[in-house]
Amino acid sequence: MSSNKTIIANGRFLVPGSLQPVLSGYMTIEDDLITYIGEDKPAAEEGALTVDGSRLLFMPGLVNTHGHAAMSLLRGYGDDMVLQSWLQEKMWPMEAKFTGDDVYWGSALSVLEMLKGGTTTFLDMYDHMDRVAEVTEQSGIRAVLMRGAIGLCPEDVQNQKLAEAVEFARNWHGKADGRITAMLSPHAPYTCPPDFFVKFVQAAHDLDLPMHTHMSETRHEVEQNVADYGLRPVAHLEKLGMFTRPSMIAHGVHLNDEEIEILAKYNVGVSHNPGSNLKLASGVARVPDLLRAGVKVSLGTDGAASNNNLDMFEEMRLAALIHKGVSGDPTAVPAPEALLMATEYGAASIYLSNVGRLAAGMKADFIAIDIDQPHLLPHSDLLSHAVYSASAKDVEHVWVNGKQVVKHGQCLTLDEEEVRRKAQETFESLLTR
């Protein structure tokens, strides 16, 4: 008998990529692991908690592979603007005022939104990362965290940022019952001079950690890279040694065939951020080509200021829709592939081998959506419904690392009322500081 055993009974379970992508049956969770999933009913066991899954669809928790959680404080603060004005007039002046407390409440707001919306793992690249780790620890979410460093500053400031990034990774990698892992993250090739970038590569080797950076989000940035270094960004990062580490880049909107080949060769992941790329008019990434080349493509929301929400169902749907519309091929990015991008490919991209899939031996990070609703009927193809019809607000329950963190839509780990109030107060205070 185990007091930490839960049996989901009579549920439907999404297992994309398998022969039976919608499985009807049972799933057993013991401590932090899934120990069984299948059609046969497991033996009844005294002390085990049974959850009735009959009105629910169970899915792997969604994995958000690129974002800046604290930027939810700037949601709606600047929209429909040209990128440089948006950054220079709106985002940067406000972000320059952010204190550790601001980052704490902005991140708490985002984590609350993500957990309630079915995201069980998120990547965060920002500043004041100790405070993001604090929110992660308290909320029960899983996170891959990194101090993002912009190197357009004097060398002593650069070194200070690198030291912070290294110290953060040393302090937090593997913490919070293993829910926190770290990566190293120079912000982007256009904001980090080559020698600074190389120091991050060295640190990643020293710490044996993967790397993450923004790359080729805009056409201008690619042209600038060629002008500055005589190389397109992929070749530039290859030359700087980044791909000698397990790596993932965010955006990758403007890539040529040769660059796609290099990414595939080094098994570099690409975090596709369709909502943000559309809203900022960066363009439409070559996702079908990347997938065909064997590149790991995952999904990210980016910060809420350029999205403007953290609904990973919406990113899945955008990924499944826009590449059809733009390519003219209605079979591009079919629903199972979009779901894999939001789950299994996401986990692989941030170098977590034990989440992103419902299978025995995997960490118990999973969600349940209420399928007895008008927009999810009839029950023709529940995998299709998860991708094409559902939204964050359909999430009923969420478990991370075997622990239930959202129950009937309510977060069990954070004080929602307090987080909402503090986020609003923080925004108002930032306006007047």
User: Residue 2 is encoded by which pair of tokens?
Assistant: 């185990």
Residue 187 makes CB contacts below 8 A (sequence gap 6+) with 125, 148, 149, 150, 151, 213, 214
Residues 51 to 80: which contact a copy of itself by CB under 8 A?
Answer: 72-77, 79-80
Minimum distance from residue 404 beta carbon to a copy of itself (Å) = 19
* Of positions 135, 182, 183, 332, contacts a copy of itself by CB under 8 A: 332
With CA atoms as reference, report the closest residue to 11 among 24, 28, 30: 24
* Of positions 50, 202, 354, 389, contacts a copy of itself by CB under 8 A: 389
> By CB under 8 A, is residue 209 in contact with a copy of itself?
no
Phi, psi of 34 (to 5 degrees): -80, 125
Alpha-carbon distances of 203 from 6, 66, 191, 211, rounded to whole Å:
41, 21, 18, 10
- H or E segment at 181? strand 180-182
Minimum distance from residue 131 beta carbon to a copy of itself (Å) = 18
User: Residue 74 is encoded by which pair of tokens?
Assistant: 């700037």
Nearer residue to a copy of itself within complex by CB, 274 or 356: 274
Minimum distance from residue 266 beta carbon to a copy of itself (Å) = 28
Nearer residue to a copy of itself within complex by CB, 151 or 275: 275
Minimum distance from residue 371 beta carbon to a copy of itself (Å) = 10
Residues 335 to 364: which contact a copy of itself by CB under 8 A?
Answer: 335
| Cα–Cα dist 96/107, whole Å | 16
Residues 245 to 284: which contact a copy of itself by CB under 8 A?
Answer: 275, 277-284
| Cα–Cα dist 113/142, whole Å | 14
Which stretch, 174-182, 224-232, 315-323, 360-368, contacts a copy of itself (CB under 8 A)?
315-323
Nearer residue to a copy of itself within complex by CB, 276 or 404: 276
Nearer residue to a copy of itself within complex by CB, 78 or 194: 78
Q: Where are the beta strands (DSSP E) in 1-68?
A: 5-14, 22-30, 33-38, 49-52, 56-60, 62-64
Residue 90 makes CB contacts below 8 A (sequence gap 6+) with 74, 77, 78, 81
* Of positions 10, 324, 351, 354, contacts a copy of itself by CB under 8 A: 324
* Of positions 13, 26, 36, 427, contacts a copy of itself by CB under 8 A: 427
Q: Are 378 and 386 in contact (CB under 8 A)?
A: no
Minimum distance from residue 206 beta carbon to a copy of itself (Å) = 38
* Of positions 158, 247, 307, 401, contacts a copy of itself by CB under 8 A: 307
> By CB under 8 A, is residue 154 in contact with a copy of itself?
no
| Cα–Cα dist 332/330, whole Å | 6
User: Does residue 323 have a known ligand-binding role?
Assistant: no
> By CB under 8 A, is residue 112 in contact with a copy of itself?
yes
Dump the DSSP string for 272-286.
Answer: E-HHHHHHTT-----
Phi, psi of 189 (to 5 degrees): -60, -30
Residues 407 to 426: which contact a copy of itself by CB under 8 A?
Answer: 416, 419-420, 423-424, 426
Q: Which parts are annotated binding residues for substrate?
A: 95, 147, 187, 217, 302
Q: Which parts are annotated binding residues for Zn(2+)?
A: 66, 68, 214, 302
